[in-house]
Chain A
């Protein structure tokens, strides 16, 4: 099977935008094609990662709308919804389309328009993914984070401050990301004194509500060479699920979808966690960076917090995590986030991450939907 390459990538400004979902998708899609120098009529498949444009905006059918707006008709189109993991699932779908031979040029655009809703309304749209026995009690994704954070801190003896240091690190990284929603550093006291949202977690433990989109262009490696010498290869990719009902998991601090998807992605790439040079993790809440860094095999279970304390995951550390600023400072437009994670890894392994650049040949992105309910892990390597 021929390897699948990424030859173009784009990311719009994340934050509070005037543009609505169709415009956001077109902005990233057009920029992605321009980045690779590929004409719209060369696109065979067009995938849109999006969780809830119908619920947020009353606009459905966005893949077809995007194909028309980009003059990519008659490309095959499909919408990929895997809640917060829609982006990663879109990468998997686009990869599959090329790897199977069905498409020689697949454009993936992830996007979400959210900020016109109140925080309570947006929280409810996202919480609609929960099981009825959860939803009727008012369980939200932030409350899952609070429940899990308390259990993690009490089980492993981690200090509350260690969670705050995730926020400090990722805000520091976001300063150098021109597309990030927040480009300001925060200090630990600010994090620890911010308003309680889901005890023991506070406002700065949570990502913001965000508008934005991102794009990737995938093709066979033989086609990639017709366009550029600088591309990345998807060396490993896999997805997995965990229970829909979160409390049914034996260990609340283990995300089975992360474990299973990463094991399969490592196996496909022929690498292990020690080979990863840079990683983008789904830090929708600070606690998630601990859980994923452990479930991906970077650190032992219950030890992820120590890595943050010791600076291992800093940009100049042994394993930089979330050089983009993560969802925490970059923002989290649901369907775009998994695409934007791979955008960052693509920039890193191709040497075009600018001020955020680290020494990286192999990078990993872990995109999580629900509270670990569905996960895609993607491993990229720079072409040599």
Chain B
């Protein structure tokens, strides 16, 4: 764990395209004094306190809580777009995340691992200002 994660609300995972190597990318959840975790980080956590560190979720596997395959995707997004809400177990502390799945072949309860993707959607195609957030991140890949 470290206390020098990315900004709490810019949507960035650690590392990213500028780092040049996906081996350096991290999927940072925030850790709070009461031991709780959130992904993404927030300036103030659920218990009302500021984060004291980060946990790199890319080092963990997670369980699929639910999933969907979206066929009506907005500009710059792959079609179809299979998404999942997953839950990590970080030394007994649960933390959930949402993200794209690497395959359409996924089921609730599957175990998945985060896999780095340099660009999850085309930053120039949608309504959001490209420079306002990060566009790299982690997809979830079922573990066979």
Contact = CB atoms under 8 A, between A and B. Distances in A.
B80 to A, nearest CB: 9
Given A137-B99, A147-B83, A147-B85, A121 B11 contact: no
A147 B77 contact: no
Given A135-B11, A136-B121, A197-B72, A124 B126 contact: yes
Contacts of A359: none
Interface SS of B by simple majority: loop
Contacts of B19: none
B13 to A, nearest CB: 8
Interface string A49-72: 000000100000000000000000
A123 B134 contact: no
A366 to B, nearest CB: 23
Nearest to A135: B128
A309 to B, nearest CB: 22
B54 interface: no
Contacts of A131: 9, 11, 40
B49 interface: no
Given A247-B85, A252-B85, A197 B71 contact: yes
B99 A198 contact: no
B103 interface: no
Interface in A170-202: 195-201
A102 interface: no
Interface string B3-47: 000000111100000000000000000000000001110000000
- Among B66, B99, B135, find the residue whose CB has the most chain A CB atoms closer than 10 A: B66
Given A136-B121, A136-B137, A138-B81, A198 B69 contact: yes
Given A150-B68, A198-B68, A123 B74 contact: yes
B120 to A, nearest CB: 5
A246 B39 CA distance: 11
Nearest to A128: B127
A197 B72 CA distance: 6
B108 A154 contact: yes
A154 B137 CA distance: 29
A120 interface: yes
Contact of B98 (A119, A134, A151, A197): A134
A142 interface: yes
B78 A138 contact: yes
Interface in A99-156: 119-121, 123-125, 127-128, 131-140, 142-143, 146-151, 154
Given A150-B67, A252-B85, A133 B40 contact: yes
A139 B135 CA distance: 13
A197 B71 CA distance: 5
Interface in A73-114: none
A167 to B, nearest CB: 17
B75 A128 contact: no
Interface-centre pick from A143, A148, A246 (highest chain B CB count, 10 A): A143
A136 to B, nearest CB: 5
B58 interface: no
Given A124-B75, A128-B127, A137 B100 contact: yes
Given A121-B75, A137-B98, A148 B134 contact: no
Contacts of B120: 136-138
B90 interface: no
A191 B75 CA distance: 26
A247 B96 contact: yes
Interface string A329-364: 000000000000000000000000000000000000
24 contacts: A120-B74, A123-B74, A128-B127, A128-B128, A132-B134, A135-B11, A135-B133, A136-B121, A137-B137, A138-B70, A138-B73, A138-B83, A138-B120, A138-B121, A140-B73, A143-B68, A146-B70, A150-B66, A197-B70, A198-B72, A199-B69, A245-B40, A248-B38, A252-B85
Q: Which 6 pairs between the two chains have the least Cβ-Cβ distance?
A: A132-B11, A146-B68, A138-B77, A124-B74, A132-B133, A151-B66
